[in-house]
Structure 1
Amino acid sequence: MNYLSAENISKNFGERWLFQDLNFGISRGEKIALVGQNGSGKTSLLNILAGKFPADSGSVSIRKGITVGYLAQNPEFDETLTVLDTLFSGDLPMVKAFKEYEEAMLSHDVDRQTDAITQMDALQAWDYESKVQQILGKLGIVDLDKVVSQLSGGQRKRVAMARILIEEPDLLIFDEPTNHLDLDTIEWLEGTLSSQNITLLLVSHDRYFLDRVCNVIVELDRGKAFSYKGNYAYFLEKKAEREAIEASEIDKAKNTYRKELEWMRRQPKARGTKAQYRIDAFQEIDKKAHSAVEKSSLELNVKMSRQGSKIIEIEGLNKSYGEKTLVKDFSYVFKKKDRIGIIGKNGVGKSTFLNLLTQVIKPDSGIVEKGETIVFGYYTQSDLEFREDQRVIDIIKEIAEVVTVGTGETISASQFLNHFLFDPKKQYTLVSKLSGGEKRRLQLMKVLIRNPNFLILDEPTNDLDITTLNVLEDFLLNFGGCLLLVSHDRYFMDTLVENLFLFEGEGNIRNFNGNYTDYREWLKENESGQNQKSSGKTQEVVNLDQTSKIQQPPAAAKRKLSFKEQKEHETLGTDIQKLENRKKDLTDLLNKGEGNYEELEAWAKEIEQINENLDEKELRWLELEELI
């Protein structure tokens, strides 16, 4: 059964077409992910399909009787309503009955409470009530009498999502549903959407979420929609095949175009004297041959400031706001190339900790001592700040006219913007006209342009497209400084971090050796163990450098290699084999004795260096092999 159909829809934005004559459909039970680069028109397409604004041409039709729930990136509400009124503003009998029940329970009117319970009984709504309570609990919505105007952006998003899930529409349209959710909530939402018979269209950059929830991937690329039946991993495979076929067809068209162009030039100029069918065919070939759009790729290539031996030393750190303790007696000494992820529910103090570390706010007690050479790069969750009259290039020129890149070369601010996919035309666009993802990309530029050696990234994956995330991951994998990462993107965390700070609430911060998947597996293995919170027992361990103490859950006897360690293990095996081969070749040359004195000496020195490298690499390979 077809729920929604869009025929020949087009949308123009500024001076360019986001898409033209696009056809799109959603059938019952499909879970469709819409993917594409920032600025390709994903959010605009969702708004058109959800009826929030019209297309410039074409039509959208929704099957009669089908209800649609739309979760926008930035939901809008009546600011004067309470959370309770906002959540239960629908006309469904169940929704009305539950709202009356909640209000009655908050009142002291016994007769009203009795009537509300009777109505719940009549509708057999107690299972529904249980489901609603679960939704509110999982999304952390507790202050039902709070006015919407007092909510943060993240709280608004969760209220909007709760309202949709409570109303149970036939078709869900979600724009970046995982933004502003903590990891536990994302996993709950993932399970809810994948296990139920739900029809869903969503935009998300969370690759684990896409892989586990969606059964159709639609890519919006150069104004066209390409559909793939399967999950995200299948899409990547088939997309590569499609692009290879497309490139081959364009190459063939170019060859044919050159031949036909010669024919067009040789023939008489009067159109009537030429075969019209061949002229028409030439125009089609011309269009095909020039259809290849140069796909620019994001280049993250910035110079890292020199880093001394002292990074950051934290001792006895404490921070509270009123009666709420966010950091309690925390100590840690950062080491070179530390790659640490931060995990915890919303509101437990993650952002406060980052602000303490960067000395944006002062602790109640304790010391944060920063090394003299440390240069912070701090990417925050807050929106990009700009004036209404500012253009893209103005934002960068405020910081620097020239930028030093990783090779040591200096480039202009305009060239630096080109590396971040802002072409010369885009550079003079007003910042207010950029998409959410483009603004985030510009914000990332502001961080990297200062050549930091200690990167702090607070939810860097929000609103960035998957292509940009892949490039950012590669850059961070090779980044030589320290990395401190807060992210709800589990794939991102698994790829980049080797250690976790677990924010458990009440100021307690625990240290875990491993990435996010390691941590989840450890939790599963220890579910039947003693509840550490109720017992109040903690195990204290001393860091390897013996300079700081930190609370840590008991480590599992064995742990899996992190993503980076797996890659390192594979690379080491290849490197060792190459070194062994080179050593054999050099030994053969020395044994033959055919070289002159300088060559023999150089070969002998190279063998000595290879032996040192082999010892180092083999030792590391054995360490990783033991973990396997």
Structure 2
Amino acid sequence: MGSISLRNAGLVATDTLFANLNFVIADGDRVGLVAGNGRGKTTLLRAMAGQGELTSGDITRSRGLTVGYVEQDMPPASMGLTLYDAVLEALPPADRDTDSWRVDVVLDEFETPPAMRNRKLTELSGGWQRIALIARCWVLQPDALLLDEPTNHLDLGKLFQLENWINQAARNIPVIIASHDRQFLDATTNRTLFLRPDASHYFPLSYSKARIALAELDEAAEAKREKDLKEVGRLRKQAAKLTNIGINSGSDLLVVKSKYLRERAAKIETAVLSLHKERSGEIKLGNSGAQARVMLALENVEVTSPVGDKLFRIDKLHVFQGDRLVILGSNGTGKSQFIGLVHRAMQGAETPGIRVSPQVVPGYVDQAMSFLPAKASPLGYITSSFNEGDQRSKSLLAAAGFALEKQDRPMTELSFGQRARLGLLAIRLKQPNFYLLDEPTNHVDIPGQEALEDEILAHGATCILVSHDRSFVRGLGSRFFLIEKKRFKEVESPEPHFAEMALEAEQ
């Protein structure tokens, strides 16, 4: 039996991220770790893996337990290796000759094509790099598994495959998954830990059920809070009345009793817990408006790969104001190439077959937020790119979740979640009326995803979306298009595609 236990664990950065965390994860426990961006998930996982420390408390691993920790990104020094060699590198040097067969076994588990194994990681998609990270960990046959945002960059087929792998290959060991993918958490976990600064909550339930239970706890806590505050008001009013009577009558007993009531009120007030609010930073988008009915028209458009190979053809497509198109398809079918082609057309590049309304103001978000300058700071980028002024820029960044002390740090020191929030803030300040979103929820926490979805719906914005997040797709899409067998066709719902991907992953 393997287990990891935490006792009075806490983490303080500029403020308290979590405190007095007590829980035990044992064989068969698959825990979803949920918290906002920058709220300590990665630090907690690193500490549990023995690669970092918390501010307080103890972490105890059962004797002999080996912990596998899958980070969010491949080490830069390994990026020049082939996929096969990157996994082999994880084995101890003395075992690489005799145990290299284990690399093939693990890559077989993830259905890695033979040709893919000999390609360098720099040539592979982010999804295959993610598979390589997990394979590097699994080849060591760990007794416990810690996964930090494992679904980022995976296409739907690989995501379903990962779900099946966790539920089968890793089902009997302790597993902790830090993820913002709600559907993935529901499919792979049987317990949920919500990290909070005051009191974290641990439920023996998958994410959606645990979230309902958490909401009930929050409602009960708020009701108690209101009741306690009413009692504080009553006690203070009574104390004031007794003080007046005591002074006017010269009764020391009433004055003493009044003091006792005030002390009791203060004690209750100190113990009252304010209702927890997720501090994920606001996500607000704009819509500069447009009168055009047809925002984008495509006719006889060929979408090709970067080297010119034909991916698919669009015979005719009109995107109307307020449409929210979701582009479905496996990795490599051309979803991102299509988004990029439309973006170039909106930027004024000559693109045969694409007509863009003159009223379109585009807002483009790619998976890597590549438009963010690597050498700038958040404050420097916002003040130099937008006419907002220094103080206004600081306020905007603070509202987006950037504390003042983080606003001058280089972009390279930001977490992936912080870069995503900065990118969305920049898009908002451009005030677009047509959003091109290529995996916009990568690295954005769950409250942030829901806020992004709500903002797009509330503003009636036109958008074209590529996303592997099924919850986000279901909540946002109004029209759905599937790229399959080099064909581009409109479908009524994403559900048949989701079901087909899940079935293929099981086979």
Report the TM-score range of the alignment, normalised by the length of the smaller protein: 0.7 to 0.9
- 1:184: how far off? 0.8
The aligned counterpart of 1:390 is 377
Question: Paired residue for 2:250?
Answer: none
What are the residue-to-residue correspondences of 1:403-442 with 2, within 5 Å?
413=393, 416-417=396-397, 420-421=400-401, 425=404, 428=407, 430=409, 432=411, 434-442=414-422
The offset of 1:92, in angstroms, is: 12
> Given the alignment of the two structures, is residue 354 of structure 1 paired with residue 334 of structure 2, yes or no?
no
> Is the 1:497–1:514 Cα contact (8 Å) retained in structure 2?
no
Q: What letter is aligned with 1:85?
A: D
Deviations 1:330-364 (A, max 9, x none): 54232333222112333332222212112179999
Return the match for 2:118 from 145, 157, 169: 145
Match of 2:191 among 194, 209, 216: 216
Unaligned runs of 5+ in 2: 247-255
Matches within 5 A, 1:292-307: 292=275, 298=282, 300=284, 302-307=286-291
1:117-196, aligned counterparts within 5 Å? 132-137=107-112, 142-148=115-121, 153-195=126-168, 196=171
Offset, 1:460: 0.8
2:252 counterpart residue number:
none
Partners of 1:210 and 1:392 in 2: CA distance:
35
* Counterpart contact for 1:307–1:481, Cα < 8 Å: no
Cα 1:466–1:363 shift into 2, 3 Å: same
Are residues 1:516 and 2:494 paired? yes
The answer for the alignment partner of 2:470 in structure 1 is: 490
Instruction: State whether residues 72 and 175 of structure 1, in contact with CA within 8 Å, keep that contact through their aligned partners in structure 2.
Output: yes
Relative to structure 1, the CA distance from residue 192 to residue 374 in structure 2 (aligned partners, 3 Å threshold; closer, same or farther) is same
Partner of 2:268: 285
Q: Does 1:230 align with 2:215?
A: no
2: distance between equivalents of 1:429 and 1:260?
48
- Provide the TM-score with structure 2 as the length reference: 0.82
Q: Assess if the C-alpha contact under 8 Å between 1:376 and 1:453 holds in 2.
A: yes
Partner SS, residue 38 of structure 1: coil
| Pair 1:460-2:440 in alignment | yes
SS at 2:116 equivalent: coil
Task: Specify which of 427, 438, 454 is matched with residue 447 of structure 1.
Answer: 427
Q: 1:301 to 1:454 in 2, by over 3 A?
A: closer
Quote how far apart the aligned CAs of 1:215 are. 0.8
Q: For 1:346 and 1:521, how far apart are their aligned partners in 2?
A: 16
Q: Distance in 2 between matches of 1:96 and 1:7?
A: 41
Alpha-carbon distance change, 219 to 149 in structure 1, aligned in 2, over 3 angstroms: same
**Which residue is equivalent to 2:298?**
314
Change (3 A) 1:284 1:46: farther
| TM superposition shift of 1:485 | 0.5
Relative distance call for 1:482 and 1:513 in structure 2 (3 A) is same
**Alignment CA distance shift 1:189-1:155 (3 Å):** closer
For the Cα contact (< 8 Å) 2:16–2:197, is it kept in 1? no
Q: Single out whichever of 382-391 and 459-468 deviates more from structure 2.
A: 382-391
Per the alignment, residue 60 of structure 2 pairs with 61
1:381 Cα deviation after fit: 1.2
* Partner-residue secondary structure (3-state), 1:157: helix
Cα shift at 1:457: 0.6
Partner amino acid for 2:165?
T
Aligned residue for 2:10? 10
The secondary structure found in structure 1 opposite 2:136 is helix
Q: Secondary structure at the match of 2:425?
A: helix
Q: Which residue of structure 1 aligns with residue 454 of structure 2?
A: 474
The 3 A distance-change label for structure 1 pair 75 and 12 is: farther
The answer to whether the 8 Å contact 2:314/2:488 transfers is no
Secondary structure of 2:52's aligned partner:
coil
The CA deviation at 1:415 is 5.5
Q: Distance in 2 between matches of 1:16 and 1:141?
A: 49
Structure 1 position 366 matched with structure 2 position 365: no
- What secondary structure does 2:200 align onto? strand
Q: 1:282-320 deviations in whole A, cap 9, x for unaligned?
A: 765343236446667736362332141342222222334
Q: 1:522 to 1:479 in 2, by over 3 A?
A: farther
Tell me whether 306-315 or 326-335 shows the greater mean CA deviation: 326-335
Say whether the 8 Å CA contact 2:156–2:330 is kept in structure 1: yes
**1:561-609 superposed Cα distances (whole Å, 9 cap, x missing partner):** xxxxxxxxxxxxxxxxxxxxxxxxxxxxxxxxxxxxxxxxxxxxxxxxx
For residues 438 and 266 of structure 2, the distance between their equivalents in structure 1, rounded to whole angstroms, comes to 51
State the Cα distance separating 1:100 from its structure 2 match. Answer: 5.2
Q: Report Cα offsets for 1:143-168 as digits up to 9, x if no partner.
A: 33344566565443221112233444
| Cα offset, 1:245, TM superposition | 1.6
Is the counterpart of residue 41 in structure 1 residue 37 in structure 2? Answer: no
Distance 1:434 1:365, change over 3 A: closer
Give the letter for the 1:367 counterpart.
G
Matched, 1:99 2:100: yes
SS in 2 for 1:501: strand
The alpha-carbon distance between structure 1 residues 225 and 38, as it changes in their structure 2 partners (threshold 3 A), is same
Structure 2 CA distance for partners of 1:352 and 1:241, relative to 1, 3 Å:
same
Tell me the SS of whatever aligns to 1:311.
strand
Which protein shows a greater Rg? 1
State the shift of 1:11 in Å. 2.4
Question: Is this contact kept in 1: 2:66–2:144, CA < 8 A?
Answer: yes
Distance in 2 (CA, whole Å) between partners of 1:519 and 1:238 is: 31
Aligned mates of 1:320, 1:216 — CA distance in 2: 42
- Which residue identity does 1:20 align to in structure 2? A
- Residue by residue over 1:377-409, the C-alpha shift from the partner in whole angstroms, topping out at 9 and shown as x without a partner, is 11111236246562447526622328xxxxxxx
Q: In structure 2, which of residues 167, 171, 174 is the aligned counterpart of residue 199 of structure 1?
A: 174
Write the deviation string for residues 217-253 of structure 1: whole angstroms up to 9, x where unpaired.
Answer: 1101225321111112211211111111211222233
TM-score relative to the length of structure 1: 0.67
SS in 2 for 1:224: coil
Aligned with 1:358: secondary structure?
helix
For residues 161-196 of structure 1, give each alpha carbon's deviation from its aligned partner in whole angstroms, at most 9, with x where no partner exists: 122334442211101111010001111111222244
- Which whole-Å CA distance do the structure 2 matches of 1:64 and 1:77 have between them? 32
Alpha-carbon distance in structure 2 between the residues aligned to 1:101 and 1:237: 42
Q: CA 1:95–1:201 in 2, change beyond 3 Å: closer, same or farther? A: farther
Amino acid at match of 2:60: S
- Asked whether the 8 Å contact 2:29–2:191 carries over to 1, the reply is yes
Cα pair 1:170 1:198 within 8 Å, conserved: yes
Preserved CA contact (<8 Å) 1:379 1:456: yes
Give SS of 2:489's match: strand
Q: Distance between the aligned counterparts of 1:17 and 1:287, measured in 2?
A: 18
Identify the structure with bigger relative contact order (alpha carbons < 8 Å, sequence gap 6+): 2
Say if 1:378 and 1:261 are closer, same or farther in 2 by CA, change over 3 A: same
1-structure distance, mates of 2:102, 2:407: 56
1:20 offset after TM fit, Å? 3.0
Query: How much has 1:33 moved relative to structure 2?
Result: 0.3
- Partner amino acid, structure 2, of 1:430: R
CA contact (8 A) 1:498 1:515 kept: no
Which residues of 2 match residues 528-547 of structure 1 at below 5 A? Answer: none
Conservation of the 8 A alpha-carbon contact between 2:236 and 2:262: no
